[in-house]
Structure 1
Amino acid sequence: MARPAILIARAVFPEVEHKLRQHFEVEAAPPGVVWSPSQLVERLQGKVGVLTTGGERIDAALLAACPQLKIVANLAVGFNNFDLPAMTAAGVLGTNAPDVLTETTADFGFALLMATARRVTESEHFLRAGQWKEWSLDLFAGAEVHGSTLGILGMGRIGQAIARRGALGFGMQVIYHNRSRLEPDKEAACQARYVGKDALFEQADHLVLVLPYTPAAHHTVGAAELARMKPTATLVNIARGGIVDENALVAALRERRIAAAGLDVFEGEPTVNPALLTVPNVVLTPHIASATIPTRTAMATLAADNLIAFLTEGRALTPLNPQVISA
């Protein structure tokens, strides 16, 4: 009997691909290859499952063109590349990779906060360009981190992990805003205080965005929100690029209406708004918040385990639309 056929849409670690080959006929993208939407549809013909990275759009058009597809396993925690209602209507299960990247992403979020507040990128460019001739008292003087007010927009697992680092490690006053307030024990664990959205923008010395992307969250941070921030404040985005109006952010940075920003995600990535490259007071990284070998391996392994569990046993570890399984 022929084994089910699956697709790995982006190259993964060899041990993860080997694990999948023990159960399925596998076609895998070569390292460095990114298929276009039409190429992805072509590769998916005859496949019942696919492992995606978050960059592959799974929408109604693709589903209609790939009627044999039964499961799409994202190795990211975010799934804004999924049209989940369309997948559910087509009877296609979606899964993601929560939990395994929480602490690593929180580490990076805090690293980006530190680099932004202390002007690490700006000062390194200055040094590499041979411009450092003498020491002065105000040479790249940045913002204080310890004892300052840390604001967090989006208080899920990663937001709470960042809050713990700020409160327990740096003595920061932590405030947050979320769609729903945390339970008292969770607030106590990360020493965080709930505030309204406007108050969050007005009071934070350092504001970190960790909310999931939805159409309703598009440009949550725009000109009006940036205008509420302190001129000494910093903004860090490790959520999704579309949450920030990048043109409004560039204007605020150029006019020094906020002090600095740190961005790991971008609207339309991997394309980066060229205006962002022209402002010195922004730290830019290429979507690497979860990029450690152990964490990325765990993410890919969880995606693989979802494929194996569903296609061999009819269950899933982290389903996004579990009604597909029961149906």
Structure 2
Amino acid sequence: MPRERLSVVVTRRLPEAVETRLSELFDVQLRDEDTPMSQEELVTAVQNADVLVPTVTDTIDGGLLGQAGENLRLIANYGAGVDNIDVATARQRGILVSNTPGVLTDDTADMTMALILAVTRRIPEGVSVMQQGEWSGWAPTALLGGRIGGRRLGILGMGRIGQAVARRASVFGMQVHYHNRRRLRPEVEEELEATYWESLDQMVARMDVISVHCPSTPSTFHLMNARRLKLLKPSAVIINTSRGEVIDENALTRLIRTGEIAGAGLDVYEHGTQVNPRLRQLPNVVLLPHMGSATLEGRIEMGEKVIINIKTFEDGHRPPDQVVPAML
């Protein structure tokens, strides 16, 4: 008798190529609508599936895991961040958790540079003038921004994405500085031409651009709080393509409105889709809808990692991208 295929529930629509491959390998339940599952649907999924494939829009907390059926043994997250999953409770219940690290590094780093340029060169303001038919011709003083060559970039979090941003920024002629939980090895620092700051306060006070690239953990919640944001130079801008909770969004809004910070480029927000309406109104703030990793190539590579994690688990081995509490 052939072995029964794993029951896999996918919580969101994925690229067609990924859904097709999942269907070939497993007994998969795909999502028809491109909307998050309701709480009731998530409960049904964890009660019946062998493997759950959630995304960052799904909260897999202790309460939900407490209702999981005996068959649920793997949560193969479609995404690198796992702050939407109670990894410790999952481990206590014998449920493995995997993620999809590494594949979105270049896409997110590209978007970081795009946001730096968009804010400093006032690109959205120029787009708005053209779309509204308000352009009356070139003028020497119109929409003056600033060049990024020679500016100091302070990277908060020097993991894969932070290092990819550093490499790109160096090509643009920026001076790279960074703060990290652990200092990089000397040879990596030398290759990146990056200057380490043990004190985050001292670094942010001297930078022209701050770019946030750290995960969401209890220790990074509001790491850029009102006190630390006030240390920025009035000419400085802040960029965030990591996790919204790292920045106190209300404090950031106040400081930009009063001219104490020159601008911001944000792809993530403290309260998900509930963005501070005052922040939306500021012309020197560029807001994107969490699209830093939104390339077709990246999304397919994420799916391939999910499939490899599930297949490896099915074959009785540890998923290559298994996440354990000690890693967080």
TM-score calculated relative to the size of structure 1: 0.94
Equivalent positions of 1:1-327 (< 5 A) are 1-67=3-69, 68-167=71-170, 169-195=171-197, 196-321=199-324
Any idea what SS the aligned residue of 1:217 has?
coil
Q: Give the whole-Å Cα distance in 2 for the aligned partners of 1:322 and 1:128.
A: 49
User: In structure 2, do the counterparts of structure 1 residues 273 and 69 end up closer, same or farther at CA, with 3 Å as the change threshold?
Assistant: farther
Per-residue Cα deviation, 1:191-215 (whole angstroms, up to 9, x for no partner) = 1010120122111111100011112
Question: 2:102 is matched by which residue type in structure 1?
Answer: D
In the TM superposition, residue 121 of structure 1 has moved relative to its aligned partner by 1.1
SS in 1 for 2:66: helix
Kindly indicate whether the alpha-carbon contact (under 8 Å) linking 1:20 and 1:308 is maintained by their aligned counterparts in 2. Answer: no
Report the CA distance between 1:6 and its aligned residue.
Answer: 1.0
Is contact 2:45-2:52 (8 Å) kept?
Answer: no
| Conserved? CA contact 1:7–1:27, under 8 Å | yes
Q: Distance in 2 between matches of 1:207 and 1:125?
A: 25
- Normalised to the residue count of structure 2, the TM-score between the two structures is 0.94
The ranges of structure 1 where at least 4 consecutive aligned residues each deviate by more than 6 angstroms after the TM superposition are: none
Shift in Å at residue 309 of structure 1? Answer: 1.1
Q: Is the 8 A contact 1:93 1:322 kept in 2?
A: no
CA distance in 2, matches of 1:135, 1:24: 59
Structure 1 counterpart of 2:90, one-letter code: M
Q: How big is the shift at 1:129?
A: 2.5
Note the residue ranges of structure 1 that are not aligned, 5 or more in a row.
none
Measure how far apart 1:75 and its partner are.
2.0
Preserved CA contact (<8 Å) 2:212 2:240: yes
Matched residues, number = 322
Cα distance per residue 1:237-262 (max 9 Å; x no partner): 00101111111111111111111100
Contact 1:161/1:190 (8 A) holds in 2? no
Contact 1:151–1:206 (CA<8 Å) still a contact in 2? yes
Deviation of 1:322 after TM superposition, in Å, equals 9.1
Unaligned stretches of 5+ in structure 2?
none
CA shift digits 1:127-148 (9 cap, x unpaired): 3223333543332212220111
Aligned partners of 1:78 and 1:87: how far apart in 2?
Answer: 16
Structure 1: which amino acid aligns with 2:259?
R
> d(CA) in 2 for partners of 1:118 and 1:179?
32
Structure 2 Cα separation of the partners of residues 33 and 276 of structure 1:
26
Provide the identity percentage: 38
